[in-house]
Chain A
Amino acid sequence: MSVATHPTARRATLGLFAGAFRVWRRDMESWRKYYRSSLVGALGEPILSLIAIGYGLGKFVDLGGVSYAEFLAPGILASAAMNAASFEATFGSFTRMTEQKTYDAILATPIGIRELVAGDVLWAASKSLLSSVAVLVVATCAGLVHSAWALVLPAVALLIGVVFGAMGLVVASRAQAYDFFTYYFTLVITVMYLFSGVFFPIESLPAWARAVAWGMPLTHAVTIVRACMAGRVGPVLLVHVGVLVVMIGLAYAMAVRWVGRRLIA
């Protein structure tokens, strides 16, 4: 038996996507241990909101034409994607970055900060995919989906997940303790949840608030999802997708920089 150096040992180094995929798979492997409890949380909450608010509150809301449940479903889908990725990329990634030292262990291998961050962001986005697909299935069964464009929604959910995964990692890279995330969730995530057109059209906001709303990624996400569910798809959606892509670029670059500063010091 020899565990020693082998002159012909393969020295493959992985590219960005191959490396990110290895990190993603690590997260996947560890999740398999407790996926049951995790699924209940990730799927239960958005589905219950849709039912309780959509049908309960919906009876008292008149949007002229569409039912409130129809209006709400896309918002719930988009915010489920936002929440799933945000939780994973803050609490989950922070644990791996600090307590568990998983990031340090990974960085001792040819996997670099870029692949590490990309892998964790993709993992956060995978959780978005899961939550959103569950909402989509429920919404479809409830007759709230009116277009085959809904078939692109899993991809949209991934896109939303990547946006919030990258943003979450930026926050995690600056956090000193878990309390820090309370601020992020209260001041950023909850504000988006309430003012990005999930529960009411942002047209009903004053002009300045509308301008602020368009600066928030969830507003663009909800717009895209709503258009796909209703089948009102036009080229303007590409603008919204473009905004999200730019936000991904900025957040990813920032996360790479700050995670790097934190771990390579």
Chain B
Amino acid sequence: MSAPIIEVAGLRKRYGTSEVVCGVDFTVEASECFGLLGPNGAGKTTTIRMITCFSPMTAGRLRVFGLPVEPVNYRAIKARLGLAPQEENLDPDLSVEMNLLVYASYFGIARAEARARVRELLAFAALTEKATARIGTLSGGMKRRLVLARALVNRPELLVLDEPTTGLDPQARHLVWERLRELKRSGVAMLLTTHYMEEAAQLCDRLVVMDHGRIVTEGAPAALIERHVGREVIEVATGDDPARRARVLELVRPHGGRVEALADAVVIHTNGAVDVRGMLAALAGEELVHRRATLEDVFLTLTGRELRE
């Protein structure tokens, strides 16, 4: 087994008096896609900035490709890294193609080789027709794909993607997923943040959920669902009617499971000793949805339903 691509231990970041990353530990192995989930302000981008040499850590241990993340190693690390940042920073003064060519030059890639690579990457990102377009004329989805293509110009061993599909329509998102799976098959390790739980479930081998700068859980998506929610979820609609809600709660309580009362629904997670059949029988006649549990259930269970920031 080869050495981990990223090793994070006791990682902390303080801005002034507020600590925004408060002791985070995880490792990303070779060829693995690792997810970093969490509500707005959880500290995902800050963690990524520390890993990608953009922000010195306040305390902890941080290695990328086995190299300590310190100024002496920045160059060596960044040469092998591809970064698609949360905020788009394409070069608006340059065309699509020049964006990639100029970026390649920063890695010391010779022009002839860069041209070949750029042609390949434009095809990969489905942007060949837009090669000479100005950045300002691209749609959001095209920009996102170009950012991804740009991150691949140096054939990175590790791809760091901060919300790669935010703001994309379903077609564009599926295209990006397909590309990321292709990259994964070819052995590129990935560190990914996303607010789309389905994306994390589809792409990530393992993930952590962060909240308030701390990791609240870690594991493979399926294992996390099993552990925190169980296989199935039952949602009973109660409308705005407290009496109806109370009655539903009465009905489900005896059958176990984790029961959560929302404003207009009762949600039952089926982990632990739950008599799902008995519960469904008791709820006969109620308006309900019986579905498979998802990562979104895990996320909401662990980080609550309160709005952040």
Contacts and interface: CB of A to CB of B under 8 A. Distances in A.
Interface string B182-204: 01001110000000000000000
Nearest to A6: B155
A8 to B, nearest CB: 10
A111 interface: yes
B120 interface: yes
A110 B152 CA distance: 14
Contacts of A203: none
B75 A13 contact: yes
B154 to A, nearest CB: 7
Please classify the interface of chain A as helix (H, G, I), strand (E, B), loop, or mixed, using the class held by over half of its residues. loop
Contacts of B157: 5
A203 B242 CA distance: 91
Given A9-B155, A25-B105, A1 B78 contact: no
A13 B89 contact: no
B76 A22 contact: no
Contacts of A105: 89-91, 103
Contact of A3 (B81, B90, B152): B152
Contacts of A108: 52, 54, 78, 81, 83, 85
B79 interface: yes
A112 B55 contact: no
Interface stretch (A96-104, A136-144, A174-182, A249-257): A96-104
A238 B33 CA distance: 60
B2 to A, nearest CB: 13
Contacts of B87: 101
Please classify the interface of chain B as helix (H, G, I), strand (E, B), loop, or mixed, using the class held by over half of its residues. loop
Contacts of A6: 155
Contacts of A109: 78-79, 103, 106-107, 154
B123 A110 contact: no
Given A108-B78, A109-B103, A111-B106, A100 B120 contact: no
B26 interface: no
Contacts of B75: 13, 110, 112
Given A13-B76, A22-B105, A104 B89 contact: yes
Contacts of B239: none
Contacts of B54: 104, 107-108, 263-264
A104 B55 CA distance: 12
Contacts of A11: 79-80
A2 B186 contact: yes
Interface string A109-153: 111100000000000000000000000000000000000000000
5 contacts: A5-B155, A10-B108, A19-B106, A100-B92, A265-B55
Given A3-B183, A101-B87, A106-B106, 13 more contacts: A3-B117, A3-B124, A4-B155, A4-B183, A4-B186, A4-B187, A5-B156, A5-B186, A9-B154, A12-B108, A104-B54, A104-B85, A109-B79
Interface of A: 1-6, 9-14, 18-19, 22-23, 25-26, 29-31, 33, 100-102, 104-112, 263-265
